[in-house]
Amino acid sequence: MSHSYVRLDKGNSAVLLVDHQTGLLSLVRDIDPDKFRNNVLALADLAKYFNLPTILTTSFEEGPNGPLVPELKNLFPGAPYLARPGQINAWDNADFVKAVKATGKKQLIIAGVVTEVCVAFPALSAIEEGFEVFVVTDASGTFNELTRHAAWARMSAAGVQLMTWFGVACELHRDWRNDVQGLGTLFSNHIPDYRNLIHGDAVKKAAA
């Protein structure tokens, strides 16, 4: 089934950070822990940079899943925070769905732990309700590559677009001339090679 190219629009997008909880993070084995943390924070930083409505949610915090990672709570002190009492699919929680719809946005950028459950279930549910869904693959984690690819295949077949945080940032920004320094700083903070590129360019310009 073919799908047309639907581009992210910063005026019509919201970010959903689903179940990035201290306990669940121990299950992520398909990506290096430090890289995963960096990618999650990069997504959070781009959400703030583009001023995108952001919703935080957790599931069964009192159990082994644990609380939301503190960095996200600190980054979004005023964002809607839905601690679901038990629903595995965030979309089964009426308050979560209400918060999503209250943003007024039709494009949902989703990331979470674990990919085939906490990400896939609400992504598929949102697609069914007419939203355009973009899953940030490198800010979502799971047990292994097998389960990851099974989840990606299922979501893709339903029309979910799979992206990385870097791709999301570039598509939202559209044009370097909108803010060279701001976007460059965002990339430099989370991509060491990009930091070197920016530094090298600055040195070259200073010597000219």
In the chain, the percentage of residues whose pLDDT exceeds 70 is 93
Burial of 8 (0-12, 13-18, 19+ CB in 10 A): buried
pLDDT attached to residue 4: 82
pLDDT (0 to 100) of residue 1: 53
Q: What is the pLDDT of residues 124-134, one digit of tens each?
A: 999 999 999 99
Collapse the DSSP code of 16 into the 3-class scheme (helix H, G, I; strand E, B; otherwise coil) and give the result: strand
Tell me the pTM.
0.94
Among all chains, which residue has been given the structure tokens 């370097």?
176
| pLDDT bucket at 51, cuts 50 / 70 / 90 | very high
- pLDDT per position as a tens digit, 56-97: 999 999 999 999 999 999 999 999 999 999 999 999 999 999
What number of H helices and E strands is found in the chain?
A: 8, 6
Report the pLDDT averaged over residues 112-116: 98
Q: Which of 42, 90, 111, 118 is catalytic?
A: 118
Q: Catalogue the E-assigned strands of 31-173.
A: 54-59, 81-84, 107-112, 132-136, 161-163
Mean pLDDT of 133-158: 98
Active site residue 118: yes
The 8-class DSSP code of residue 32 comes to -
Q: Amino acid identity, residue 10?
A: K
CB of 49 closer than 8 Å to CB of 11: no
pLDDT score of 23: 97
How many Å apart are CA 185 and CA 198, to the nearest integer?
A: 9
* Tens-digit pLDDT profile for residues 167-190: 999 999 999 999 989 999 999 999
Predicted confidence (pLDDT) at residue 16 exceeds the cutoff of 90: yes
Is the CB of residue 187 less than 8 Å from the CB of residue 197? Answer: no
Q: What is the pLDDT of residue 200?
A: 66
Cβ–Cβ < 8 Å for 73, 101: no
